[in-house]
Structure 1
């Protein structure tokens, strides 16, 4: 008897899970449900190439209707899932229809944390294609841009806006950007990166109020100063899209609580992947939720394997990895630098051609994470060493012995003069 798998969520995790079901040999029915009406698209370019006007929407496409048909994946787009009936094995949709399932994959991701400041207009978040299009339109006008939040999204939007010729200020209550991830010492290099590209920063101070409307906004900070802005972008984190599961009986605690196989606790035919999943990591011996593109892809593949091969279950125990393109830096992070008690820097982040790796160790004396900039070989080596559980001293010796990367060609200016 043919089985049906319903995948709820049409971003990268859901798409890759649906495709992986086929590559794993699943021959039943696969239905991919998406709240947005447009074909599934990739989100990292929304704060960079698409926002800058260098890419059109087609270039962000993850799965066309033709490709879905070839793979035997049914698309139900433009309709949100509103409820999960675990006992009845059904997904209820906003149009009143129901989808029966033998297994369901929850891949609804996370939403941008809403702005607590609500002026008349001109305040944006960046999470969807529609968000990026709205911000793109505002960035065509003159006027300063204030970015609230110095994390990955904030930094990438700041770089894009600056490349479009806007005057940009980044505000964050932390003393350095992405300090929660890399620590204050390495974070200072990211502050200098903003300054070298003409972006102003106000770190260590929060936003108290935003008033006005698009083109004429005032951002009042907690130290009493005011910043004029034509446009404000708020990037203050994300929250898992798990509200539609509130009465399902599936355990929710900062995401869907899962076992090491990505199965929802006490609901073995329900899987959760990506930003919405909080699963038990066998290596860390704790439940974790990870908001990274790579994690969504890899967890989707793991869930697809376990659905297709229930007698050969694989635990999901990744080494974390995330990247961010900021100005002329490609920053790549592996492992868990936040667990480090000290770090050492190999290379240079202050020169004209910065390339370096910051290696982090914890109380065990092992390598627990690394941050690399413009150094792919150091990233590959560090990821391998974290996976192997290498000692910090051994990691320092191996990374220090790596040859420097080949010189990168000078960027070719695009239309408008932005590299």
Structure 2
């Protein structure tokens, strides 16, 4: 067995395989030269110093009976023959291949002076976090974050907790509204302002040049500001370039069906940020979050074992459960359950906006519940999982919450 990618999905798949059948020969290849770690700490615990790089290694991996080929990214795969070629030139043939290379950070779409490039950073890996920490240790006191999405919002909170001045720039008038709905997104904006973040919405970075010991950043509204460094927090794109000649159909990632099986390619599976899973209405959706990647990796492993006759088959429906994840904004936890892509309306279903805790339900065009967002608490949002899974109506919420109380 070959698992391509040593992140959350890949490590979960590998662990699940050898835990069921310890005698299996499982090879895990990974781009980073380190054991899989909790990537959610990159812009939080690692950045603030609450944990170090040894603390974040995933538990149970050091003694796991797999062959790690770390620092060995894959260059291509022959999906028909199930042969993976590594960047080193070596090849690995397998009975099954799990694709779990995750996603790559989106580059900053701006004119960057070559001399300023070293001060334009990313925030995706532990190494990225260490580079920013190094800049802070050398006196960087003002960081400009380009994009106020999930990554930018959380990173702003971590930097402010360290006493760093933060400018947060986003082209949207209300960042995060596609992830949280308008009400929760507005709440996030208020938290940024209260925390002392210089929030610039409706504009984007168009140029970065050297200026003294830092950079001069030009926005598309014509304004210019100085900063010590720029962090591109524009989200990610699925890491699928290496699959272009594989014969696998690529559409918003790698399309999968039941059990994370890659469509039309027996013996090939995909999990994590690159996996496009059928959502409501059959629309292929990717969920870029740690917990979802872990679940998908385990599901892919179960399918591998079942397809090879090494374990009983399971249902493994890729879209059976609504996705769920959390984020932290200036110390407050937000929990998102369900599919927010087709929501057009929302309603407060618990608490009140402005209180320490409240929960929003997001509604699609048919008046059905597509997602829930819990601010300050996850309990109510999680209790609506069943209703979200079957796309119940908003009028059912009271009854559901009463029954699950």
TM-score clears 0.5? yes
State yes or no: 1:278 paired with 2:276: yes
Aligned to 1:261: 259
Match for 1:198 among 193, 196, 208? 196
Distance of aligned partners of 1:195 and 1:396 in 2 relative to their CA distance in 1, 3 Å threshold: farther
Structure 1 residues 54 and 326: alpha-carbon distance in aligned structure 2, compared to 1, 3 A threshold: same
SS of alignment partner, residue 266 of structure 1: coil
Equivalent residue in structure 1 for 2:359, among 343, 357, 360: 357
Aligned mate of 2:36, from 11, 25, 40: 40
Aligned pair partner of 2:156 in 152, 155, 158:
158
In the TM superposition, what are the counterparts of 1:193-272 in structure 2 within 5 Å? 193-212=191-210, 215-272=213-270
Q: Report the counterpart of residue 381 of structure 1 in structure 2.
A: 383
Residue pair 1:292, 1:322 contacting (<8 A) in 2 also: yes
| Mapped partners of 1:152, 1:284: distance in 2 | 26
CA distance in 1, matches of 2:265, 2:243: 13
1:312 alignment partner in structure 2: 313
Contact 2:336 2:372 in 1 (8 A): yes
How does 1:267-416 map onto structure 2 within 5 Å? 267-281=265-279, 283-310=280-307, 312-313=313-314, 314-317=316-319, 318-345=321-348, 346-351=350-355, 354-396=356-398, 398-399=400-401
Structure 2 unaligned segments of length 5 or more: list them: none
**Superposed CA offset, 1:292-327 (max 9, x none):** 112211111111111111272522113111210111
RMSD over aligned CA atoms reads 2.1
Residue by residue over 1:98-136, the C-alpha shift from the partner in whole angstroms, topping out at 9 and shown as x without a partner, is: 111000000000010012332422111101111111011
CA deviations on 1:312-359 (whole Å, 9 max, x unpaired) are 2522113111210111210110112332222112313424xx101011
Instruction: Provide the rounded CA distance (Å) in 1 between the counterparts of 2:277 and 2:301.
Output: 16
Give the whole-Å Cα distance in 1 for the aligned partners of 2:167 and 2:173: 15
Where does the alignment leave 5 or more consecutive residues of structure 1 unmatched? 404-419
The residue aligned with 2:132 is 135
What is the aligned partner in structure 2 of residue 177 from structure 1?
175
3-state DSSP of counterpart to 1:174: coil
* TM-score (ref. length: structure 1): 0.88
Count how many residue pairs are aligned between Structure 1 and Structure 2: 393
Report how far residue 24 of structure 1 moved: 4.0
Between the aligned partners of 2:228 and 2:28, the Cα distance in structure 1 is 39
Once the 2 structures are TM-superposed, how far is the Cα of residue 28 of structure 1 from its aligned partner? 2.2
